[in-house]
Amino acid sequence: MEPVPDTGADVPTMLNLTQNTVRRLTALLLAVATLSAACAGDTGPLDGPGLSGTTPPTGLTTTTTLPTVDIGDVQLTSGLIPFTACEDLLVYLRAEAAERVGPYGLGGGGFYGGPVVLEAAAMTEPMMMEGPSMAVADGGVASRAMVEGVDYSGTNVQELGIDEPDLIKTDGNRIIVVQDDRLHHIDMSGEQAVLTDTIRLENHWSSDLLLVGDRVLVLAGTEPPYGPVPLDGSENPLSRLVPPGRWRQLTSIIEVDLSDPGNLVVANTLTVEGRYVSARVVNGAARVVITSPMDDLPFVYPAGPAGEERAERVNREVIAETTVDDWVPGFVHEAADGTVTDGRLVDCTDISHPVEFSGFSTLSVLTVDLGAPLGAPRATAVLADGQTVYAGNEHLYVATNRYHDPIEFDEGPWGALDDDYATSIHQFDVSDPTTTGYLASGTVTGHLLNQFSMSEHDGHLRVATTLGRPWGFREDSESLVTVMARDADELVQVGQVGDMGRGERIFAVRFVGEVGYVVTFRQTDPFYTLDLSDPTEPVVRGELKIAGYSGYLHPVGDGLVLGIGQDATDTGRTTGAKATLFDVSDLDAPTALGTWSAGGGSTSVEWDHRAFLWWAPEQLAVLPFTDWRSDTNAAVVLRIADGTIIEVGRIDHTPDDTGGPVVFPCPLIDPAEGADMLPRPPGGMTLMLCTDGGHPQVRDHWCEYMNAEEIRRYGMDFGVTGIEVPEGAMVAACFPDDRGWVPPIERTLVIGDDLWSYSRNRVQANDMATLTRLQVVSLG
């Protein structure tokens, strides 16, 4: 699509009407007419109940004589359509649902599960540059001002100055770790690191947090309430979001006060309906992205073809009786003093929808002021889904595979999908620290790899995609970079370059200023260099073919890029972890200066950029490394020097004490008392009852942890049934591990002269110069 010419007037871009668009628009206008007629009287589906969120009268009439609506002169505008009131929102959603509802709900021909949105096979979020993460206030255990990049390392992020959440954070004076439902505080201000406190976040599970001053924001999945209402009549605040006996995906933002390192306290908890996608800290505020599917509606389903007509009639009545609260996600805020407030996550007038129907999900961006206590949400939303998040200094972008409407396909959505596969991108304004505004939407052909497939520079968004679906290879596929700019409320293409990696797909992307790097792979690794200095005429300048591929690209100096990935044979069979140092000083002739190959194994850096550490003062790159064939779990330390890659050494988390009796930290369960033991694996099994809800580790053993419900469901798999498990307790089934299993290292960071590393239940310090182990802090 070419940019829309500037006519000097505020004239919206016009789109051609397709047959389906006309049909949908007709339904929408008819619904508006119906609403007008209903609102003129004293009763009707929208006269109070539908907009207030209460249940409409059961005797609601669903057949109405509709006025004739002439749409001959109607034209659709591109871009966004904001809702002006909850009434408009409800009319729109009812009309779109009425177009799609059938005997099996909103899924069509026997399929249940909602509208068809095809997700990429690996929509994980990797890659970035080392840089300042979040400004932290003085206080707490801080003994002096620490400078990120000089005194300590921050999270490896994509854009300098824009922090991303991770499972571990430091400000140089403390380390904060979130692991499952536990938050750990380690004081680093003394001679020895000390675990000062651990707080349990009950019914929450997380691997993401943000550190700001003396506060932590934990981003967690939350277990909805289940079971009967307590006999004492006490209310679980989350039951306002999830009625008893129902299940719904919930996300919580938990604010923890760190001002007393020995007594961590939950200050505020904000729980919302939906799935946490990702978050960024931009211009003094955290922008948290949530995608919320529509509510579970009480559809009926026929037992066979004979009942389909009746089931569809009932399901249409269900749609007609929906209220705003059936479509718009809600929130519950709990303060430390017990005060509870609830409401809609986003006001109806802060919700928009693209002209092209994009599903019934609500994509919300929450603005969290980092200078104030966590309160009720401020959000903006669009009726769409979201999977991949990128943020620059002015805009935040959320991408999703374009919605494929079941009614567009007579024989299912799969046949022509390769030719029609596209990605929708939504742009939000994040320049104001107090609010986030929805600006524009656009579409690019093909699919994205991850967040590094997007980059903003001088008002232009560069997007790297591979044509076709995100799984498998197509012989005629190619990869391309599209440059987009905002024109009114639409993201439009202003430039594009393609013909990269015929028959291959993208494995890595990196944009740095006016330059881009793209790696495609199937048998060999074409490493492409792109000149993006003219947004309207992007150009592929160079290409280098080497064995294997890079899954992550990181700038390590002027004209140098480090690629982390896999080595491979000439036929494309991968053979193990590999690092390549590229010289890109001449875009027309990129070269490989040096390589490091492990001869096997892999590194999580390929799919999680936060696992990578680049310590520029020492020119050190550190990456986790795992090789199941050699039983290796370690972190490899590489030095970049004089155009070469040198392995300095490796660190691991082998137990300090390799002798003495094994200590079981929880009371043992005697199989003869209260458990029915079935045939078990050779070598025996030890059962522990851990009443604090934790997951303690046992030396030279591997353990599976089960609560009461899991014992009932899966206990048979471990040869045990009939154990009474108190509420909040866990049963650990522990088996001997003769190999002395070493846990994989997940993160590394630098504080002072020490290299710190994290594995499950353990934080360890090694001397950065000698890699000698200095200290271990147990989190178990």
Lowest average pLDDT, out of 15-19, 217-221, 229-233, 746-750, goes to: 15-19
pLDDT for position 729? 86
Q: Report whether pLDDT(481) > 80.
A: yes
> CB neighbours of 684 closer than 8 A, spacing ≥ 6?
735, 736
Tokens 């599970």 identify what position?
A: 205
**Predicted confidence band of residue 8 (pLDDT cuts 50, 70, 90):** very low
* Distance (Å, whole) CA 428 – CA 456: 13
Q: Over the range 416-448, which residues count as b (16 or more CB within 10 Å of their CB) and which as e?
A: eeeeebebbbbbbbbeeeebbebbbbbbbbbbb
- The more confident residue out of 41 and 753 is 753
Q: Report whether pLDDT(644) > 80.
A: yes
> Could you read off the pLDDT of 484-540 as tens digits, one per residue?
999 998 999 999 999 898 888 999 999 999 999 999 987 667 999 999 999 999 999
- Cα–chain-centroid distance for residue 449? 14
> Could you read off the pLDDT of 367-421 as tens digits, one per residue?
999 999 999 999 999 999 999 999 999 999 999 887 766 666 544 545 555 567 8
> Could you read off the pLDDT of 40-73 as tens digits, one per residue?
333 333 334 344 433 333 333 333 333 333 323 3
> Could you read off the pLDDT of 356-367 as tens digits, one per residue?
888 899 999 999
Q: Report whether pLDDT(23) > 90.
A: no
* 3-state helix vs strand vs coil in the chain, percent to 5: 15, 40, 45
- Joined together, the tokens standing for residue 17 give 């009407």
Q: Taking residues 169-179, report their average pLDDT.
A: 97
Q: Report the alpha-carbon angle 619-623-624, nearest 5.
A: 155
Q: What is the dihedral of CA 380, 384, 385, 388, to 10 degrees?
A: -70
Q: Report whether pLDDT(283) > 70.
A: yes
* Distance (Å, whole) CA 771 – CA 549: 29
pTM score of the predicted model: 0.79
Run of H or E including 40: helix 19-40
pLDDT for position 711? 81
Percent of the chain with pLDDT over 90: 60
Q: Give me the chain's average pLDDT, please.
A: 82
pLDDT for position 227? 62
Q: Report whether pLDDT(126) > 50.
A: no
Q: Report whether pLDDT(349) > 80.
A: yes
> Could you read off the pLDDT of 463-472 as tens digits, one per residue?
999 998 776 6
Reported as half-sphere exposure (CB side, CA atoms, 13 A), residue 357 has a value of: 27
Lowest average pLDDT, out of 209-223, 676-690, 716-730, goes to: 676-690
User: Are 611 and 621 spatial neighbours (Cβ–Cβ below 8 Å)?
Assistant: no
pLDDT for position 669? 81
Q: Taking residues 289-313, report their average pLDDT.
A: 91
* Distance (Å, whole) CA 670 – CA 667: 10
For residue 256, which of 273, 270, 240, 277 has the smallest C-alpha distance?
A: 270
Q: Calculate the alpha carbon distances from 33 to 39, 65, 741 in Å.
A: 10, 10, 68
pLDDT for position 154? 96
Q: Taking residues 226-254, report their average pLDDT.
A: 81
Q: Over the range 186-219, which residues count as b (16 or more CB within 10 Å of their CB) and which as e?
A: bbbeeeebbbbbbbbbebbebbbbbbbbbbbbbb
Q: Taking residues 675-700, report their average pLDDT.
A: 68
pLDDT for position 503? 85
Classify residue 17 by burial, with Cβ atoms within 10 Å: 0-12, 13-18, 19+: middle
> Could you read off the pLDDT of 322-332 as tens digits, one per residue?
999 999 999 99
Q: Which amino acid is residue 747, in one-letter code?
A: R
Percent of the chain with pLDDT over 70: 77
pLDDT for position 354? 84
* Distance (Å, whole) CA 250 – CA 274: 5
